[in-house]
Amino acid sequence: MSTIETYDDKVVRLFLFASAVWGIIGMLVGMYLAAELAWPFWNLDVPFLTFSKLRPDHTFGVIFAFGGSALMGTCYYVVQRTGHTRLALPRLAEFTFWGWQLICVLAMVTMPLGMTQSKEYAEPEWFVDILIAIVWVSFGWVFFATLARRRIRHIYVANWYYGAFIIAVGLLHIVNNIAIPVSMTKSYPVYSGAVDAMVQWWYGHNAVAFFLTAGFLGMMYYFVPRQAQQPLWSYRFSIVNFWALISVYMWAGSHHLMYTALPDWVQSVGMAFSLVLLMPSWGSAANGLFTFNGSWHRLKDDPAAKFMVMALVFYAAATFEGSLMAVKTVNSLSHYTDWTIAHVHSGSLGWVAMITIGSLYAMAPRALGRPEMYSRKGMELHFWLHLIGTLFYVIAMWAAGVTEGMMWRATNPDGALTYSFLDSLIAIKPLYMFRWFGGVLIWLGMWVMAWNLWYTAADARKPIISPIPVPIPEPDVHQSPAPLPAHG
Amino acid sequence: MNPIWGDIAGFFIIAMMLAFIGIWVWAWMPWHKRVFNDLARLPMEDDGANAIATEDKP
């Protein structure tokens, strides 16, 4: 008996919903922290509301909860479509959803209470780390099992990026979090001194590389050609860029430790690889932008395409800036200043958030059984709120960073420092207010997206949507091995 | 540090450069053109509604 195989989008919808919720929560915390920096009384003398305690909640909330949910949801969506097959192991896939949400809640509750390893972007304590490892391995299992049952021989390039993201993040997480627990809530890393610093920034930088770049490039390589309705500009170029990116990125982490106790040659290796990294980064950005050739008119009335194009522009700009900042002489000006904050946010708000939002707007109608998003005007409003907010944020922090760098290195003829630290803080205070305002606009935009998704999901909530059939290719004569039978 | 590490590093760099050039050459081989063109169009399929007949089946 022949049956119709359909895509399994249930877990995709769950992750879609979760990413919208975590986006609002993570960015609310960021906005509150920006307010604390501009007006310190906002810490209200409550320990867990101070910047130091809340900051990991912002980074974990936006990177792992918002970004992670979007990555896992789109990954499950893309691997099915590019393999013409249904998701393997649907129960395990659902476990990865609930497991990931539990991890996010546990991490964001325990970190402000002081349960932290004090490793940047790897703050959660050992009991959360073990849960992360279990869920991550399950995620990889579902992804690779689905890939194994694909009906298209070649693995589409987006899946290469998603695969690299899954393998590398698992490796980084486990190696960086090897620790000895001394109680239920406290552990100590097995590394110490400069080795600890190097392992931490090997992890920290590659979290940027494989979580915030490779994963989102996977998103870009699928959703950009789809939204542009143009074939990918150069498929073979995407293969070269993939191998170049993943082989070079691993070596660049030491640029986070310029002018520290790390051996000088290790710092130079980080600088050299960071410069080389510009080529594959711009290669992918160019590939995405050129894919819009012949479809530029779509930008007039398609806000999802606008988000994607702007994301690629920010990706090109932020990667150029990153390579520049890894040059030792530039780093001597930029390090420890708000220039770093500007760079991180032009990458995260400009590239990561915009490609995510564009992809969610592209994916949501298909996953929610609607012809298009509920409100195109809502999408348009979101685009402008996000873009203006991001520009407010990064321009203010660029100005603040250069101001700090110049003031900190200024000396009098007798060699004494011209300015105290407090002088630089007073000089940049208005810029902190601008940054907060930019954050408010971005956060309001996330509410607009959540509202729009909620109404787009009206049918899915009832639930009265029909699952989408998998296109099963006709087998060739004498095809070997035989194609997979359809699974209803 | 033992100078042998410098030789190993040099060998590794040359091997990586050759591998990179090899990937370029492999990707530009003319017999990949048809498959790569099909793959470049894969995301344009609209959930099967406009399915593109791909000849690259297992």
Helix axes A68-81, A10-38, angle to 10 degrees: 150
pLDDT higher for B17 or A357?
A357
Residue B40 · residue A231 · CB < 8 Å: yes
Q: Kindly state the helix (H) or strand (E) to which residue A340 belongs, with its residue range.
A: helix A338-345
Task: Tell me if A470 and B48 make a contact (CB, 8 A cut-off).
Answer: yes
A334, burial (CB in 10 Å: exposed 0-12, middle 13-18, buried 19+): buried
CB proximity A153 to B under 8 Å: yes
Asked if A164 and A172 touch (Cβ cutoff 8 Å), the reply is no
Length of chain B (residues)? 58
Yes or no, beta carbons of A471 and B54 under 8 Å apart: no
By Cβ distance, the residue of B28, B42, B51 closest to A82 is: B42
Name all domains of chain A by residue range, CATH numbers in brackets. Answer: 10-461 (1.20.210.10)
- Whole-number Å distance between alpha carbons of B58 and B55: 9
Minimal Cβ distance to B44: which of A152, A154, A225: A225
Is the CB of B5 inside 8 Å of chain A's CB atoms? no
Chain B residues lying within 8 Å of A232, measured CB to CB: 39-40, 43
- Percent of chain A topping pLDDT 90: 86
- Rounded Cα distance between A356 and A157, Å, is 18
Question: Which of B24, B27, B57 is closest, CB to CB, to A151?
Answer: B57
Q: Which of A 464-483 lie inside 8 A of B, CB atoms? A: 468-471, 473, 475-476, 479, 481, 483
Nearest Cα to A235, choosing from A161, A170, A157? A157
- Packing angle between helix A421-456 and helix A376-409, nearest 10 degrees? 170
The minimum CA-CA distance between B30 and chain A, rounded to whole Å, is 11
CB pairs under 8 A between A and B: 85
Assess A82–B contact: CB distance below 8 Å, yes or no. yes
Tell me how far apart the 2 most distant CA atoms of chain A are, in Å: 91
Residue A34 has pLDDT above 90, yes or no: yes
pLDDT of residue A102: 98
Instruction: Label residue A465 by pLDDT band (50, 70, 90).
Output: confident
Helices and strands (H, E) in chain B, number of each type = 2, 0
What is the least distance, in Å, from the CA of B27 to any CA of chain A? 5
Q: Do A239 and B23 lie within an 8 Å CB cutoff?
A: yes
* Model confidence, pTM: 0.92
| Residue tagged 């479809």 (tokens) | A295
Rounded Cα distance, A238 and A225, in Å: 13
Is residue A204 within 8 A of residue A121, CB to CB? The reply is yes
Q: Which residue in A70, A77, A75 sits closest to A21, CA to CA?
A: A70
Question: Across the interface, do A231 and B37 touch by the CB < 8 Å criterion?
Answer: yes
Does the pLDDT of residue B33 top 80, yes or no?
Answer: yes
Q: Which two tokens stand for residue A219?
A: 């998103």
In this complex, is the C-beta atom of B1 within 8 Å of any C-beta atom belonging to chain A?
Answer: no
3-state SS class at A290: helix
> Looking at CA atoms only, how far is residue A276 from chain B in angstroms?
13
Ramachandran angles phi, psi of A103, nearest 5°: -60, -45
Specify whether the CB–CB gap between A407 and A431 falls below 8 A.
Answer: no
**Confidence band of A66 (pLDDT split at 50, 70, 90):** very high
Q: Kindly state the tokens that stand for A197.
A: 């610093």
Please report which confidence band the pLDDT of residue B5 belongs to, taking 50, 70 and 90 as the band edges.
Answer: confident
Classify A188 as helix, strand or coil. strand
**CB pair distance less than 8 Å for A151 and B56:** no
Give the pLDDT of residue A104: 97
User: A286, A361 in Cβ contact below 8 A?
Assistant: no
* Nearest CB partner across the interface for A154, out of B24, B39, B46: B39
Whether B47 shows a pLDDT value over 60: the answer reads no
C-alpha angle with apex A59: A55 to A62, nearest 5 degrees?
135
Report in angstroms the alpha-carbon separations of A181 from A23, A91, A104, A105, A350.
Answer: 32, 32, 21, 21, 38
Which of A156, A158, A239 lies at the smallest CB-CB distance from B27? A239
pLDDT digits (tens, 9 = 90+) for A78-88: 999 999 999 99
3-state secondary structure A357-420: HHHHHHHHHHHCCCCCCCCHHHHHHHHHHHHHHHHHHHHHHHHHHHHHHHHHHCECCCCCECCC
Find residue A181's DSSP bridge partners: A187
Chain A nearest-CA residue for B25: A240
Q: What local confidence, expressed as pLDDT, does residue B51 receive? A: 38
* CB neighbour list of residue A465: distance below 8 Å, 6 or more residues apart: A368, A369, A459
Q: What confidence tens digit (pLDDT) does each residue in A12-31 have?
A: 999 999 999 999 999 999 99
> Maximum CA pair distance of chain B?
63
Least Cα separation, residue A81 to chain B (angstroms): 7
What pLDDT, on a 0 to 100 scale, did the predictor assign at position A208? Answer: 84
To probe the interface with A, which of B24, B25, B36, B52 has the most A CB atoms within 10 Å? B36
Closest CA to A49 of A36, A34, A66, A62: A36
Identify the residue among A156, A239, A248, A264 best suited for mutation to test binding to B, counting B beta carbons within 10 A and taking the highest: A239
Which token pair is A460?
């899915």
Mean pLDDT over each residue of chain A, to the nearest integer: 93
Q: Which residues of B touch A223 (CB under 8 A)?
A: 43
Mean pLDDT of A162-187: 96
Closest by Cβ to B57, choosing from A224, A239, A476:
A476
Q: Do B54 and A152 touch (CB under 8 A)?
A: yes
The per-residue pLDDT for range A388-439, each reduced to its tens digit, is 999 999 999 999 999 999 999 999 999 999 999 999 999 999 999 999 999 9
A 231-260 near B (Cβ less than 8 A): 231-237, 239-240, 243-244, 247
Yes or no, beta carbons of B43 and A223 under 8 Å apart: yes
Nearest to A336 by CA among A424, A430, A213, A411: A424
Query: Are A81 and B41 in contact (CB < 8 Å)?
Result: no
Query: On the CB side of A202, how many CA atoms lie within 13 Å of its CA?
Result: 20
Residue A6 DSSP SS3: strand
